[in-house]
């Protein structure tokens, strides 16, 4: 019976992984239809909803995305309390019997994706609430490793949400947090964050901090002048890698032999970010990575690998002893027990595997009357004055679709009609 349960669950997990593998080539619309035809066990429900939620976000289904991501968030939060029965099953059989409760990155990113959905659906207050919750989640996750579960992208988006609402001090605090996280990781500071920090420190009169940042970045503030405004691009590039499993042999002194264990792993990464350029009549700005989710996913797994290995070893030793005992009493029983021990050992390869491989940002000052373009795709954006926003307008784009989304939403006459959100590109951009 247990083997049957594992077979059903494993089949669903394999189907979800296959759908993720083909997302970049078939697009989010077809992938969503495929996912909706898969019956997943309750223990995989959070992973399933995270994936359907992000696919609906790519497609601009703000209500559907919000419903799925909120449900996934509630499940993950409820699972933070330890389930004794699930832990026992995972310890004695395999890790896939434990409910998926998300990685530290998942638990923060779900707030980020929800905030984007709220914002682009015209609910900045809802976006603000999600960013406040993201802050609480990151504070909870912070430990001796000051960067685990800390996402510069979440801090940056919080800054954008606050800045659009004129909450300059809160915006600056969030941008500072993003800057600190990137520096502690030794990662490149994207120009969009540099501009945000320089503009707000100058605007708010923090002269000493402004001079320090000016020296660090080698640039000046770019505050809009009369008749100008700003565009901010949020770009989702490619698809994050999927976990696989590997079988390794380790020596165990208790049974004085080599035992075989199955471990989750990510394949060797070859991801090279592709970028998108915001182009105004006299200047342009290329998107840059603010969150490399290929790296975050591997960091989250590496932080848990010692625990995974210890649990897998305990299971393998227990199963080895059962097989040895069965073989000493009944040869046929021993053979069947050996087969069962191999069949029930599976690595937990579940993940939020339909996320982009990277989150990228760009910030561009432009005349309020001038149209702007996404250069690589040739997609036109309306003039800022057509949006009624001279302060800061946002555009969200993905390498998986040909349809960017704009906030504030433009009137129908202000922009050239874009392809329907379900018309995805056929070109593959998946990170191997």
Q: What is the pLDDT of residues 193-228, one digit of tens each?
A: 999 999 999 999 999 999 999 999 999 999 999 999
The tokens describing 359, both together, are: 């989150």
Instruction: Supply the pLDDT for residue 6.
Output: 44
Q: Quote the CA–CA distance of 55 and 347 in Å, as a whole number.
A: 26
pLDDT at 300 over 70: yes
Listed in sequence order, the residues at least 6 apart from 352 whose beta carbon sits closer than 8 Å to its beta carbon are: 47, 50, 51, 54, 102, 103, 105, 106, 109, 240
pLDDT digits (tens, 9 = 90+) for 148-184: 999 999 999 999 999 999 999 999 999 999 999 999 9
Residue 123's pLDDT band (boundaries 50, 70, 90)? Answer: very high
Judge contact between 89 and 99, C-beta under 8 A: no
Residue 329: its pLDDT value, please?
66
Structural domain tally of the chain?
1
User: Taking 70 as the threshold, does the pLDDT of residue 145 lie above it?
Assistant: no
At residue 93, the pLDDT reads: 52
Look at 67 and 332; give whichever has higher pLDDT: 67
Between residues 125 and 323, which one has the greater pLDDT? 125
In a domain, 383, yes or no: yes
Assess if residue 146 is contained within a domain.
no
CA 236 – CA 5 distance, rounded (Å): 36
Kindly compute the dihedral angle of the four CA atoms of residues 197, 198, 201, 204, in this order, to the nearest 10 degrees.
-110
Q: What is the pLDDT of residue 256?
A: 76
Indicate whether 51 pLDDT > 80: yes
In a domain, 140, yes or no: no
Q: What is the spatial distance between Cα 235 and Cα 376, in angstroms, rounded to a whole number?
A: 13
Q: pLDDT tens, 371-404? A: 999 999 999 999 999 987 668 999 999 999 999 9
Question: Cα-atom radius of gyration of the chain, to the nearest Å?
Answer: 24
Question: Is residue 137 assigned to a domain?
Answer: no
Q: Which residues pair with 361 in a beta bridge?
A: 234, 288
Residue 418 predicted with pLDDT over 60: no
Structural domain boundaries, residue 288: 231-409
Indicate whether 424 belongs to any domain. no
pLDDT at 7: 45
More confident residue, 142 or 357: 357
Domain presence at residue 151: no
Backbone angles phi, psi at 167, to 5 degrees: -90, 75
Weakest mean pLDDT among 29-33, 151-155, 228-232, 427-431 = 427-431
What is the per-residue pLDDT for 94?
Answer: 59
Residue 273 · residue 350 · CB < 8 Å? no
Least confident of 30-34, 65-69, 338-342: 338-342
Q: What is the average per-residue pLDDT within 231-246?
A: 96
pLDDT of 389 = 61
Q: What's the confidence (pLDDT) of residue 226?
A: 92
* Most confident range, picked from 256-260, 279-283, 335-339, 395-399: 395-399
Q: For all residues of the chain together, what is the average pLDDT? A: 87
pLDDT band at 19 (very low <50, low <70, confident <90, very high): very high
Q: Structure tokens of 308? A: 């995974």
Q: Is 274 a residue whose pLDDT tops 90?
A: yes
């Amino acid at each position: 019976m247990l083997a049957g349960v594992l077979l059903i669950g494993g089949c669903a997990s394999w189907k979800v992984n296959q759908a993720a593998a083909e997302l970049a080539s078939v697009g989010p619309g077809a992938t969503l239809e495929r996912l909706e035809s898969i019956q997943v066990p309750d223990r995989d429900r959070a992973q399933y909803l995270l994936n359907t939620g992000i696919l609906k976000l790519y497609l601009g289904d703000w209500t559907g995305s919000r419903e799925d991501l909120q449900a996934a968030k509630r499940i993950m939060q409820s699972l933070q309390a330890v389930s004794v029965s699930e832990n026992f099953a995972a310890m004695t059989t395999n890790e896939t019997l434990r409910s998926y409760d998300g990685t530290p990155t998942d638990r923060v990113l779900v707030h980020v994706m929800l905030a984007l959905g709220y914002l682009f659906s015209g609910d900045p207050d809802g976006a603000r609430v999600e960013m406040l919750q993201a802050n609480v989640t990151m504070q909870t996750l912070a430990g001796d490793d000051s960067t685990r579960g800390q996402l510069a992208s979440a801090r940056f988006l919080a800054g954008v949400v606050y800045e659009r609402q004129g909450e300059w001090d809160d915006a600056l605090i969030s941008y500072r947090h993003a800057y600190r996280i990137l520096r502690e990781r030794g990662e490149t500071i994207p120009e969009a964050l540099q501009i945000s920090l320089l503009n707000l420190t100058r605007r708010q009169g923090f002269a000493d901090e402004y001079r320090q940042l000016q020296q660090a970045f080698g640039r000046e503030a770019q505050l809009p002048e009369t008749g100008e405004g700003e565009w901010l691009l949020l770009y989702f590039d490619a698809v994050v890698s999927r976990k696989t499993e590997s079988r390794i042999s380790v020596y165990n002194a208790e049974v004085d032999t080599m035992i075989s264990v199955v471990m989750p792993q990510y394949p060797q990464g070859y991801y090279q970010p592709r970028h998108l350029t915001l182009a105004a009549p006299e200047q342009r700005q290329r998107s840059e990575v603010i969150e490399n989710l290929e790296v975050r996913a591997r960091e989250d797994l590496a932080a848990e690998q010692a625990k995974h290995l210890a649990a897998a070893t305990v299971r393998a030793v227990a199963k080895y002893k059962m097989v040895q005992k069965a073989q000493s009493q009944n040869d046929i029983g021993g053979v069947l027990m050996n087969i069962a021990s191999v069949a029930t050992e599976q690595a937990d390869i579940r993940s939020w595997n339909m996320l982009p491989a990277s989150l990228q940002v760009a910030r561009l000052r432009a005349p309020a009357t001038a149209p702007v373009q996404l250069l690589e795709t040739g997609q036109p954006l309306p003039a800022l004055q057509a949006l009624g926003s001279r302060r800061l307008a946002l555009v969200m784009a993905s390498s998986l679709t040909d349809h960017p989304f704009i906030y504030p939403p433009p009137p129908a006459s202000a922009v050239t009609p874009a392809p329907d959100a379900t018309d995805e590109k056929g070109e593959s951009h998946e990170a191997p």
